[in-house]
Structure 1
């Protein structure tokens, strides 16, 4: 133990502390600007605590204080994050009302311009937490083609029917069917009625659209109609691009959808019930769970057996005669009572 003497006005004071030991000579660096610091001899250096050896050794156990992250825990956290994102706690205004009122029910956007419909679906989906389905991309993947032009009209419609049939049991998605495709078939609507049908229409006063069969179909099937005016002129900020048109339609669509769901608060529950029963095609008059469209079709097409065709009219004539006789008896009863 080295001692150090400290000079004080009153006298000398000896301090004994291991921190006040003299510094070794090899650690002292002279103060010269042109001379670089040199380490001391190798023999005077202290040995490292963890020596590095080239010889193979067994893998050492991890001494890190951070535990290994469980994959299941990560997956659970991811699911919780998606649930919080889809919930309406971070939404405000019309977006929050739509999320709360839809109750995970899917949406279907119809219209003449499929590119515009899909662009609006991506914007609305990002705000609500819904997934916009790219139907042309899925069809190309199913048919192993690079473009829909390589398929015939029948092949395209059949593939789209398969996609729509697969989406009918999916919640929180936005489908954009192709104009003039599978929606022209009545069987496709058996799958589409499980979602809220929205018709997106752009109006141009200078170029009014003719009343075609597709537009008549949109009018008959759509539950929510969103009509946006085409903006023209140099005053349009950013130009009349697809993104700007989609944003303008999305700004109109969300309040319109919120008002419709507020006007029909039971719509989401009935849509969900329709999906849970199997999308049997009984919309909007939902039938009991034991109802079957096949049995109803057979009953409607049933014909009377041979030999019994004329009995039904005879029975009807007898019933009519009996009803007439009963009416005459009821009318004569007051007169007989008065005479008596």
Structure 2
């Protein structure tokens, strides 16, 4: 089993020496400001470390499968100490219909509109992991319904037919650049190979934490920026947040 270090080490300041029959390795962190919960990247270290990096900002899981979003969200919520929320469950409780029956009776637009209203209500919540409706009927599949999804860190759990890690990374890069699907608005994408098995949920959750860690370490201002976006009303101006008083309907406002 391959074990990775929690983050980057300065190669030039790595010291190796022999002490009797032991090899002693001295490693210096590349970023001294980042607190490492452990020397290696494990479920436990990621859970603690990413919870600190998120600073209370919620996490939204989007993608083609409601079941995958739900299963992984539960694992993440336990690891982070966040509250689990499921927009599919909330929508079905409110409408007293299943998503499938709502699509038949009202159409897929009704589902995405209803989920958008739910996302608006939970967008001001902190420390939540939100599983969204998967497939083409949910709000996340539509690029024009991302206004409130931008309030949290979004992760696209994308099923893949790639044969190896390199191909999966290239597939993810193309998906994110093409913007052909609403899911491509996500902050990060996690590719899932093979047939889905609920037993994989924790492994996928760990990969999600690792991806979020790398994203936030690449720009430590992101959690604060997400917080500002929420405080200004989730007006749809992510990532180029406009000044207070800006009107999203006209594109004008206070300077």
Note if 1:149 corresponds to 2:104: no
Partner of 2:197: 241
Alignment of 1:90-105 (within 5 A): 92-105=44-57
Q: What's 2:130 paired with?
A: 175
Per the alignment, residue 217 of structure 1 pairs with 181
| Alpha carbons 2:140, 2:182 under 8 Å: kept | no
Uncovered stretches (5+) of structure 2, i.e. residues with no partner:
1-36, 38-42
CA contact (8 A) 1:116 1:245 kept: no
* Pairing 1:191–2:148 present: yes
Q: 1:285 aligns with which of 200, 218, 240?
A: 240
User: Which of 212, 218, 222 is residue 257 of structure 1 equivalent to?
Assistant: 212
Structure 1 gap segments, 5+ residues each: 1-88, 232-239, 299-340
8 Å Cα contact 1:200/1:225 also seen in 2:
yes
- RMSD (Å), alpha carbons: 2.9
Hey, what does 2:84 align to over in structure 1?
132
Deviation of the 1:219 alpha carbon? 6.1
- CA deviation map 1:279-336 (0-9, x unaligned): 11111111111222234269xxxxxxxxxxxxxxxxxxxxxxxxxxxxxxxxxxxxxx
Alignment check: 8 A CA contact 2:141 2:182 kept? no
Separation in 1, partners of 2:144, 2:184: 15
Aligned to 1:111: 63
SS class of match (1:291): coil
Q: Which has the higher contact order (CA 8 A, sep 6+)?
A: 2
Q: TM-score, normalised by structure 1?
A: 0.52
The verdict on how the C-alpha distance between 1:200 and 1:185 changes in structure 2, with shifts beyond 3 A counting, is: closer
Q: For residue 202 of structure 1, what is the aligned residue in structure 2?
A: 159
8 Å Cα contact 1:107-1:175 kept in structure 2 = yes
Give the stretch that moved more between structures: 253-262 or 118-127: 253-262
Distance 1:205 1:293, change over 3 A: closer
Counterparts of residues 261-276 of structure 1 (less than 5 Å): 261-276=216-231
Counterpart residue number, 1:160: 115
> Which secondary structure state, in structure 1, belongs to the residue aligned with residue 208 of structure 2?
helix
Aligned length: 197
Is contact 1:120-1:250 (8 Å) kept?
yes
Structure 2 CA distance for aligned equivalents of residues 215 and 187 of structure 1? 12
Residue 204 (structure 1) shift: 2.8
Q: Structure 1 residues 186 and 241, CA, compared in 2 at 3 Å: closer, same or farther?
A: closer
TM-score normalised by the chain length of structure 2: 0.68
* 1:227 partnered with 2:182: no
Q: Cα deviation per residue 1:231-268 (whole Å; 9 max; x = unaligned)?
A: 7xxxxxxxx731x1212211212122111111110000
